[in-house]
A and B are shown apart, each in its own frame.
Chain A
Amino acid sequence: MADLKVDFAGVPLQNPVLLASGTCNYGQELLPLTDFSRLGGLVTKTITPEPRGGNPPQRIIETAGGMLNAIGLQNPGLEDFVGEKWAFLAGLQTQVVVNIAGFSVDEFALTAARLEELPGIAALEVNISCPNVEAGGDNFATRPETAAAVIAAVKRNSRRPIIAKLTPNVTDITEIARAVVDAGADAVSLINTLVGMAIDVNSQRPILGNITGGLSGPAVKPVALAMVWKVAQAVSVPIMGIGGIATARDALEFIIAGASAVQVGTANFVNPNAGVEVVDGIQAHCDEHGIDQLASLVGSLQT
């Protein structure tokens, strides 16, 4: 049997497949439908310092080969996470990455510091795709300086591996990747959703309550793959590949492009056991092709 183990920025993963932030909530709902002990890990839905109600409905619409979402980071807030949600997550036989966000650099720092109190957290994934309210609502993730400032602050306040989650909604994602790595990021994950919208032609209104949303699912896979490949050439930290992964073949494409691990997102909504099926498929592929160590495939793209 091929060895699927990965050392991801110091986090030992039994295999490279995690469930993506915002597509498995805080784990509980999936317990009857999937076997967490078979996964490399899961990434929690984004936690912000204060509870958030999220956006008005409609929050979701299917589009060609994918879907748009505008949930608005609805989450119970840091204190509820520490007091309530964590107890369940800590009991799971898998690595738990906690995804955090804030609306100022201080909020990110504060959240990272508070989470130091939960020893079982494998790593922090920092969702920098958030408006910076102190700077007129500019998104942290779209400028190298602000992205770096967030990561540096988180890094100062946490001893855990820090994964910077990058947005594809930029001109040059490698520029942001370099900036966050220079600021201390131990790894990067990409991609978050692509900004998109849908319109009801009869009412001439946007379909989503938030007007725009984030595109995910199979439709974004080629975009994500190209970005992972480019970032792999630009930085030397491990990469978590995300975007439209639904099958083992999808995951392997990301691994060959340079991802050490992958996350399964939208596919969980279609098949709540998708992550485990991706693991099984990767295992079968490696065994069939005489690949002893999955790690040997990482970045193996021949050009």
Chain B
Amino acid sequence: MIDEQVEVLANDEVAEEFYMARLQAPYIAARAKPGQFVNIQVSTGGAPLLRIPLSVCAIDLDAGWIEVLYENLGPKSEVLSRIGRGVSMACLGPLGNGFAPPPAGARTCLVGGGIGVPPMLYWGSVLQRQNYPVTLLVGARNKGKHLPDELLAPAASVVRRASDDGSLGQAGLVTDLLQEELAGDAPHAVYCCGPHGMMRAVAALCRESAVPCQVSLEEYMACGIGICVGCAVELQPDEQGAAGSDYTRYGRICVDGPVFDARRVKWED
């Protein structure tokens, strides 16, 4: 992991308020595994002060670039969305642990909601290259918030969509789609990233069906490297380290995760 000075090669809107930035980042591109993230300094002027954590969405090893896909939600993402080609930024990475591979030959199901889709795209493309069958389930509020087919296609052999308002794909939640998958020829491994409530629901469905599930968690971050102890997630008591000390009640998402076995997470709110 280093703090790499990266150059913006492209930064374009790909769906309603969703942007894809391509960054020349040879060090990170050569090392980033699916599920890992970067922490980008979008302003050197202190406004916004903190960096923005974003999942690696795609890499090109030969060209030495990475892509991040992000929604314009607030100050940091807004500033980033206005940064043009040729601008240089500090980018810490690769950070976190990444997804653990499924057993050989496993049918995999990737579940992404909203800003949780980007890590799934990188993971899906790697799984496909390793000849795992991949089904990608994507949830979004409406048609405008859904990413275009050409972005999703490399990540899965089957892509299914759900929208809250039914304007694209099935009307309803992405968890409805997962329920159907689990009821049929059930996947052997589920990977999920999205809003907290969605991940909790996916974790519960997988638990009922006894399908292993990994979730990529998000929490407000300052450092992204484990020094602020801000990105806490409460873990199940039986996972509280050897001594079971109070100290290990909360894990740090940025270094212990962001990917966790769903059974390790204490989901109750």
Q: Which residues of A does B touch, CB under 8 Å?
A: 22-25, 29-30, 32-33, 45, 50-62, 64-67, 69, 71, 74-77, 80, 217-218, 246, 266, 268-273
Contacts and interface: CB of A to CB of B under 8 A. Distances in A.
Binding site secondary structure of chain B: loop
Given A52-B246, A80-B245, A269 B3 contact: no
B47 interface: yes
A52 B250 CA distance: 10
Interface in B117-138: none
Interface residues of B, number: 35
B268 to A, nearest CB: 11
Contacts of B229: 22, 25, 45, 54, 59, 71, 74
Contacts of A80: 245, 247
Contact of A59 (B75, B230, B255): B230
Most buried by A among B3, B90, B222, B225: B222
Given A58-B220, A65-B47, A65-B49, A271 B41 contact: yes
Contact of B90 (A54, A59, A271): A271
Interface of B: 1-3, 41, 46-51, 75, 90, 92, 219-223, 225-234, 245-250, 255
B220 A61 contact: yes
A272 B221 CA distance: 14
B234 A269 contact: no
Contacts of B223: 268-269, 272
A297 to B, nearest CB: 25
A80 B244 CA distance: 13
B160 to A, nearest CB: 31
A180 to B, nearest CB: 27
A24 B229 CA distance: 10
Nearest to B219: A57
A246 B44 CA distance: 11
Given A54-B249, A269-B223, 17 more contacts: A23-B227, A25-B229, A33-B225, A53-B250, A57-B250, A60-B222, A60-B228, A69-B222, A71-B229, A74-B247, A218-B46, A269-B51, A269-B222, A269-B228, A270-B50, A270-B51, A271-B41
